[in-house]
Amino acid sequence: MPIDAAKAVAAEPRSAEIAWDHKDIQLYHLGLGAGVPATDPDELRYTLESRLHVLPSFATVAGAGMGMMGGLSAPGIEVNLAAVLHGGQTITLHRPIPVKGSATATSKVAAVYDKGKAAVLVLRSEVADGEGPLWTSDAQIFVRGEGGFGGDRGPSARVPAPDGEPDRTVERPVREDQALLYRLSGDWNPLHADPEFAKLAGFERPILHGLCTYGMTLKAVVDTMLDGDVSRVRGYSTRFTGVVFPGETLRIRMWRTEGRIQATVTAVERDDAPVLADTVVEHA
């Protein structure tokens, strides 16, 4: 079988040294659409090195996302990348990410679940520097056609729907060139840039990176519900439910509950087609 669950989970973790500085942070933020208006003091926190803070979702691109790619090449994992879907993403922050840093990223397959028609790999990356742990990132990867091996189905990722109308609703435009800029942070999949490749994959045109939508949503939550303070974020999780095309508009609905904010994200131009669900930002 292409996936040997026991072998994959038992494999020794892989480690790599990663580093970043203000240029990586600024490029990532610009890829999320930061900097509009360019002179807005709230936006300068994302774009000007003398005022810079780090949006916690930067963890998904630090080291060019080595945790995910390392997990897909782990012992016991042999899959067709065309059958792979990024199903969900979770980040746990142990402390704020510094503007400049170097760290050790250790990646492993934390779990393999049997969903019947698909297998789900939980690819975990734990990052620490000389002062201790920085963040833990879990990517939930669906591999179509690899289920049915009799394994544990795993926990449900569904989050109970919040009650009542959202506390805040904002709309965030996706620029036509946004995927081209975001991919400079390390995801070079031609699905997000090459129209011919996108058609072969079944899309009318290139789609936006799911992790770009993920970052845009966190920025909206921080800016509108957490007073612009990235250090308040303790954890962030979502489930990917649909695609976004460059040029569309995201509608982000937010509900405040005790110690966390729930959100849903839809594509305005496609009758509020679902994009992100079960989205939760844990905060101080």
Residues assigned a catalytic role:
187, 192
State the distance between the two ends of the chain, measured CA to CA, in whole angstroms: 45
CA–CA separation, 19 vs 124, rounded Å?
Answer: 19
Residue environment code for 186-207, b if the CB has 16+ CB neighbours within 10 A, otherwise e: bbeeebbeeeeebeeeeeeebb
CA–CA separation, 116 vs 22, rounded Å?
Answer: 44
- In DSSP terms, which residues pair with 236 in a beta bridge? 91, 281
CA–CA separation, 200 vs 221, rounded Å?
Answer: 35
Tokens describing residue 113: 């679940």
Walk across the sheet containing 273-283 and list its strands.
14-20, 101-114, 118-129, 132-144, 84-93, 233-240, 273-283, 260-267, 249-257, 168-173
Question: At 42, which helix (H) or strand (E)?
Answer: helix 41-47
Q: Is the peptide bond before 274 cis (omega within 30 degrees of 0)?
A: no
Q: What is the DSSP string of 97-130?
A: PPSSEEEEEEEEEEEEEE-SSEEEEEEEEEEEET
User: How crowded is residue 130: how many other Cβ atoms within 10 Å of its Cβ?
Assistant: 8
Give SS3 for 284. Answer: coil
CA-based max dimension of the chain: 56
